[in-house]
Chains A and B, each alone.
Chain A
Amino acid sequence: MIRRNLRAIIVIELLLPLLLTLFGVYHGVLQVLYRAGIIQDVSFLGIGYYQGLTAHGVINAIVLTTFFAVAFGHAVISQYLDHGVSMAGAWVGFVLMVGGTLVAAYPIFTGQANVLYTFYAPMKAHPLFYFGVVFLVVGSWVSFWAWIPGYLRWRKSHPAQKTPLAAVGIFATFIIWQICTLPVAYEVIVQLIPWSLGWTPGVNVVLSRLLFWFFGHPLVYFWLLPAYVMYYTIMPRLAGGKLYSDFYGRFVFMSFIVLSSPLGLHHQFTEPAVSSGYKALHAALTFLVAVPSLVTAFTLAASLEYGARQNGGEGLFAWWGKLPHFDPQRWLFPYLFMGLVIFVLGGITGIINASYGMASLVHNTSWIPAHFHLTVAGPTFLAILGMSLYLCAGVLGKKVAAPRMAVAVPYLWTIGTFTFSAGLFYGGLHGVPRRTNLGMSFLDSSSDAYRPDWVIGEHIGAVGGCLMGLAVLLFFYVLVRSLLAPASVPAADSFALPDSAAVHDEDAGVVKNFRPWVVAGIIAILISYIPPLVQVLNARYPLAAG
């Protein structure tokens, strides 16, 4: 059971960002319409294209994911580590995160921060935008710190036990987050805020980009790992079985701590400041981080097969039919399973992007958003939707209304996402740029820049984007109806996340403690980042005022 005062924090931390996401998704749908040339204007209903694009990225990729990771983490730590959440820390974190979000929302919605979520220095935003982002991130740190004393207490009082796998996954998520947000905090606090306040004349742009992309890739593991926690600890149980190997779950989370950071240069293959050798090293390290995901693919498939066979599944592939794909009682299953299906393509296209020489073909084309909508808008977003509904209904003691419709959402979302990405992949390979209001030039048949060969891809993308929007509307219908349902106190008091036992429950061995893996991760970062940092600083680029 989760204690009452923590329930309030969890529910607000889930619902507030979801409410904002409604706007983020609305502008996602608008973007595909602008890009398909259906809206040919700089703005629509008072929101500019690039203003909405900023809100879409900041809300969906930063606000929603950060709040969700914290709220889900509270639930996991509370359940598995004997109520190990310090309430004072959780409240301070909560206030900082909510305050930061509201502070950043003001300049975004008044059009004073059209800098997209990557900051784009020396493009300048209102100082409040940067302050808001800092408060949000620091709030997530404080929330994480609120779990550490409880974890240490638990370890001391359970010396013979392994730390529960779900808690290991959540700690791995936030260790990665803590490490990767430090350089970007430096960028924002030391470089961007004093400059946007007019205290410093300019920004070392190349340095700011190196610092941002140090953060940019581990960020995707921060998005992904809460979903991995669900895949390893919840999905096997929903499938009626067990996790295939406990050791490998731990091994995968520990590997991410080491491997998720020393590879950010693969976002900067086309940058002038860093030598090709270090770009190649980061490309190779990016391939290494695919290994834990490939292992995950095996372990999860084996777990699902085990569950299906326990329930009478047979044959080489026929056992797939014994999984609860359409079971309204286990409506959460397809949110996790379809996320994995989408992630197969997201992972493969990620490997393509990391492939060094491919950068010239795909860099900054619509191929890139096609790829990351198969990761952050695939496994991550579906897991967030499913678990937010599950947790909100659970801790409030409500039954999920319209469970059949809840089952339909992930399928509709999957069809939409695949269609959207197909259009953008096609366009990207034909040179369509990302982040561009295409309807004003390239997709306007009266413009000199008109590109008839780009029309088909953007139209396919628009169909997919609208289906994605429809799926989210259906989800909100289920969510709101569930929240309006009568609450049952005993149901809320007995709520717990499903917990999967393991088929192979091995001795934890080398994956028992975080410390050696954190140390290895820091060494990997120093080796891979000190020389490029020295190159950038030695180049002595003058400050740019923007």
Chain B
Amino acid sequence: MAIARGIPNVEKRVVVAALLFCAAMLALIAYAAVRLGITVPGCVTNVKPFANGELIQVAPGRYEAHVVSKMFSFKPSPLKVPKGSVVDFYLTSQDIVHGFYIDGTDVNLMAIPNAVSYAQAQFKKAGKYQVICHEYCGLGHQDMVGVIEVTP
């Protein structure tokens, strides 16, 4: 094989070791994604962008939150749900790009104008959760904080 011509064996072994290392890491990531459900938000194109923020109870302990971000607040906020609730978050923006990070959860999304992002979270502990805009959105960016109140 042409590629092998004149290469000291020890470095070929390094390439193989590097490939095996990466393959092992990827296998762990695949395991985490498939078996443990640790994954990334997918493609949401079947939800029309909405203009009003609201919290809808779809069943006992099940909620849908339609969150609208706009300089420099999230609506609705505060968002109140009882402990143990499962909430589907649909997120959009009315002006520019914002971030949406619920402290203490895995919900970490981008709010993009005219597009909708989606994530689900279960709130197992009662208390106040900060919702942080983590994408630069202008002079008031650091004040763009929402609240989720999980009641006992």
Residues of chain A at the chain B interface (Cβ within 8 Å): 42, 48, 50, 53, 114, 116, 120-123, 205-206, 209, 244-245, 247-248, 269-276, 279-280, 283-284, 287-288, 290-291, 294-295, 298-299, 351, 355-357, 359-361, 363-365, 431, 433-438, 440-442, 448-449, 451, 504, 506-507, 509-510, 535, 538-539, 541-544, 546
Contact = CB atoms under 8 A, between A and B. Distances in A.
B8 A245 contact: yes
Contact of A120 (B96, B101, B107, B145): B96
A357 B108 contact: no
Contacts of A288: 22
29 contacts: A122-B113, A123-B97, A123-B137, A244-B11, A247-B6, A247-B11, A270-B108, A270-B109, A272-B43, A272-B45, A272-B112, A272-B116, A283-B26, A287-B25, A291-B18, A294-B17, A295-B11, A295-B14, A356-B32, A356-B40, A357-B38, A357-B40, A360-B107, A360-B108, A434-B134, A436-B134, A509-B5, A539-B45, A544-B113
Nearest to B6: A506
Contacts of A535: 43, 45
Contacts, number: 197
A75 B129 CA distance: 55
A273 B139 contact: no
B124 to A, nearest CB: 17
A206 B116 CA distance: 11
A448 B97 CA distance: 24
B75 interface: no
A370 B41 CA distance: 24
Interface string B85-112: 0000000000111010101101111101
B101 A433 contact: yes
B29 to A, nearest CB: 5
Given A431-B101, A441-B142, A509-B6, A294 B114 contact: no
B136 A270 contact: no
Contact of B99 (A121, A291, A433): A433
B18 A290 contact: yes
Interface in B98-152: 99, 101, 103-104, 106-110, 112-118, 130, 132-139, 141-143, 145
List the 8 closest A-B pairs by CB distance, nearest first.
Answer: A433-B134, A506-B6, A357-B38, A294-B18, A544-B113, A364-B134, A272-B117, A287-B22
Interface string B70-85: 0000000000000000
Contacts of B45: 272-273, 535, 538-539
Contacts of B6: 247, 504, 506-507, 509
B40 A205 contact: no
A341 B107 CA distance: 34
B141 A50 contact: yes
Contacts of B41: 269-272, 276
Given A270-B40, A361-B108, A440-B142, A435 B22 contact: no
Interface in B43-75: 43-45
B52 to A, nearest CB: 18
| Most chain A CB inside 10 Å of its own CB: which residue of B39, B101, B114, B117 | B114
Nearest to A287: B22
Contact of A50 (B39, B118, B136): B136
A269 B134 contact: no
A535 B42 CA distance: 12
A42 B135 contact: no
A458 to B, nearest CB: 13
Contact of A206 (B96, B103, B115, B142): B115
Contact of B7 (A247, A287, A363, A364): A247
A442 B145 CA distance: 10
B125 to A, nearest CB: 15
A431 B104 contact: yes
Contacts of A506: 5-7
Nearest to B138: A123
